[in-house]
Structure 1
Amino acid sequence: MNATIMEPPDVDAGGDLPPPPPADIPERPSVLVTITFRDHRGFEQSFKLKTSTRLGKAMDAFSAKVERDRKALRFLFDGDRILDESTVEGMGMEDGDAVDVVEEQIGGES
C-alpha cells in the first residue's frame, strides 16, 4: 500500500506559510460639508453632504425646490459644469462653497 503525503493547504511546496491576509484598511470617516446652491434670482438652498455623495442627488432636490425641470438648469462650480456622477471630493469642494445654478441656454450662431 502506497501512502501519499499531502501538505496542509496553507503551506506551499517550499514549506513557507502564505503571506498574511491584507490588514483591514480603516475607512476614512465620512465628512459632512455644507454646500450652497444659488440661482440667478438669488434663491439659495444649502445641503449638508458627505464628500463621497454624488451631486446629482442635490441637483435633483434643488430643481424640485425651485420647480424647474432639471434639464433646464446648469450647475457650475468654479466655472466647471457639475455632472450627476460628480462628488464633492471629486470637484474639490470645501465646507461653505457655493454652486451657481443658471438656465441652460441652447443656441448658436445667428
Structure 2
Amino acid sequence: MAEEATVPKPEAAEQLNIKVKDADGNEVFFKVKRTTKLSKLKRAYAERMGKPENSVRFIFDGQRIGDDDTADSLDMNDQDEIDAMIEQLGGW
C-alpha cells in the first residue's frame, strides 16, 4: 500500500469586511479578498447605488484609491471604512 503524500493546502485569501460610506451617510458593506482590485468594489458600489462608475471616487485614509490598488497594497484591515465621493465638475 502506497503512502499518501500530504500536500499542504494553500491558505485561503483572507477576506475583509469593508464599509463604504457616502456623504449622505449611506453605508454599504462588502466582503473582499485582500488581493482583489478595488476597482471591482467601486464597480459593485456604483451599480448598487445607481450611479455611473466613472463618477464615483473612493478615499481611504485621506488618499484617493486607484483602480489597481488592493486591500493589501493599502494595508487595510477588517472593518475599515472607505469614503465614497461623487465627482463634481464646474463651479467658480
Q: Under TM normalisation by the shorter chain, which class is it?
A: 0.7 to 0.9
Offset of 1:73 from its aligned partner?
1.5
- Equivalenced residue count is 84
% identical equivalent positions: 33
Structure 1: unaligned runs, 5 residues or longer: 1-25
Aligned 8 A contact 2:42 2:56 in 1:
no
- The aligned counterpart of 1:101 is 84
Distance between the aligned counterparts of 2:73 and 2:11, measured in 1?
Answer: 15
- CA radius of gyration, larger in: 1
- The aligned counterpart of 1:19 is none
Distance between the aligned counterparts of 1:52 and 1:91, measured in 2?
Answer: 11
Q: TM-score scaled by structure 1? A: 0.69
Moved over 2 A (4+): 26-29, 105-108
- Matches of residues 1-110 of structure 1 in structure 2 within 5 Å? 27-107=10-90, 110=92
Q: What is the RMSD of the two structures over their aligned residues, measured on CA atoms? A: 1.8
Aligned 8 A contact 2:18 2:82 in 1:
yes
Q: TM-score scaled by structure 2? A: 0.82
Aligned 8 A contact 2:39 2:66 in 1:
yes
Structure 2: unaligned runs, 5 residues or longer: 1-8
Offset of 1:27 from its aligned partner?
5.0
